[in-house]
Amino acid sequence: MRNMGKRSFITSLLGLCLGISAPAQTLGDDQYKPTVGQSGKDVVWVPSPDQLIEKMLRTAQVTDKDLVYDLGAGDGKIAIAAALYHGARAVGIEFNPEMAALAQRNVERAGLKDKVSIIRGDIFVEDFSSATVVTLYLLPQLNLRLKPILQKMKPGTRVVSNSFNMDDWVPDETIEADRGRGYFWIIPARIEGQWTVQLGGQTGQLSLQQKDQMFDGSLSLQGQTYKVVKGRLRGNEFQFEYQRSDGSVAKVSGRIDAGRLQAQQQVLSPAVPLSAQKQ
Ligand SMILES: C[S@@+](CC[C@H](N)C(=O)[O-])C[C@H]1O[C@@H](n2cnc3c(N)ncnc32)[C@H](O)[C@@H]1O
């Protein structure tokens, strides 16, 4: 109330009498100056350094086809950089109303109203499932709370975090900058389960177990069972190896889409097509 003008006080009073809530009042730049380390709902505000932001967005290969969500947007700098330097559409979710209002003013000052929106809300309540890229600068335990939500996102969605990893979820890349480090993951498709395989005119069985983007298992072909090793997914793309009975190593790489695997097996050239259907 101390910072409210006479007009906004009367508007609020009128709203109360009429039983309607007036839009939240926020301070302008002249009165709201956030301080680094100020408390936030689940984590304090510390802005990411510019160089690290650029490296994070470059590692995630952000383009004008992307929709970037920054969870815990602070003053909006990651969302703004994604739009300004990579042409992406971006959304920042920020809980603190004053900070969200500041981020919105920064978006407008950058002339990015059409590309960037700021949501005043809680990252554990708001829906960000349409994102193609998610950026984070939170805390280890918050990343872990988000992990199951992130892993249900569309395969190929990229996640990039300033400073904090996700416990035993091995990052696809680590990003080094002058001030700080980032971690990068690509949401993997689900490949685990039993597959009926067609390989060079033979029918076999592929049985796979998956942990995050890594997998292993076995391949049975013509009465022989081979160990599947070094299985790895990058979104919908996968690769694995197995050792054949003659000692040669077969390298398989391909894509998984709608319950089908389409791949090439390379031992010696030429490559042999491998396809599989989920059982
Ligand atoms: C470490 S700062 C990062 C700011 C920005 N992403 C950046 O990298 O420059 C974290 C921000 O998350 C906000 N925050 C904390 N808990 C939140 C929550 N549950 N929902 C939305 N924002 C939250 C804080 O107010 C703070 O602005």
Q: How far is the CA of 37 from the centre of ligand 1 (A)?
A: 11
Distance, CA of 133 to CA of 124 (rounded, Å): 17
Would strands 193-199 and 67-71 be described as parallel, antiparallel, or unpaired? unpaired
Of all protein residues, whose CA lies closest to atom 11 belonging to ligand 1? 72
pLDDT at 267: 87
pLDDT at 29: 83
Distance, CA of 182 to CA of 16 (rounded, Å): 47
Q: Is 113 left (phi over 0), alpha (psi -120 to 50) or beta?
A: alpha
Using the predicted structure, report yes or no on whether residue 155 has a pLDDT greater than 80: yes
Of all protein residues, whose CA lies closest to atom 24 belonging to ligand 1? 40
Q: Which two tokens stand for residue 69?
A: 């969500």
Which of 233, 219, 225 minimizes the C-alpha distance to 265?
219
pLDDT at 31: 83
pLDDT at 24: 59
Task: Categorize the per-residue pLDDT at 10 as very low, low, confident or very high, splitting at 50, 70 and 90.
Answer: very low
What tens digit of pLDDT does each residue of 184-216 get? Answer: 999 999 999 999 999 988 999 999 999 999 999
Tally of CB atoms within 10 A around 234: 16
Pick the CATH number of 193-278 from 3.40.50.2300, 3.40.50.460, 2.40.128.20, 2.130.10.10: 2.40.128.20
Mean pLDDT for the stretch of residues 154-159 = 98
pTM beyond 0.75: the answer is: yes
Q: How far is the CA of 94 from the centre of ligand 1 (A)?
A: 6
Q: Can 32-186 and 193-278 be said to share one CATH topology?
A: no
What tens digit of pLDDT does each residue of 68-126 get? Answer: 999 999 999 999 999 999 999 999 999 999 999 999 999 999 999 999 999 999 999 99
Task: Categorize the per-residue pLDDT at 269 as very low, low, confident or very high, splitting at 50, 70 and 90.
Answer: low
Q: Is 3 exposed, middle or buried (0-12, 13-18, 19+ CB in 10 A)?
A: exposed
Judged by DSSP in three states, 148 sits in helix
Q: How far is the CA of 240 from the centre of ligand 1 (A)?
A: 39
Kindly report the CATH class assigned to 32-186.
Answer: alpha beta
Query: Could you tell me the residue ranges of all domains in the chain?
Result: 32-186, 193-278
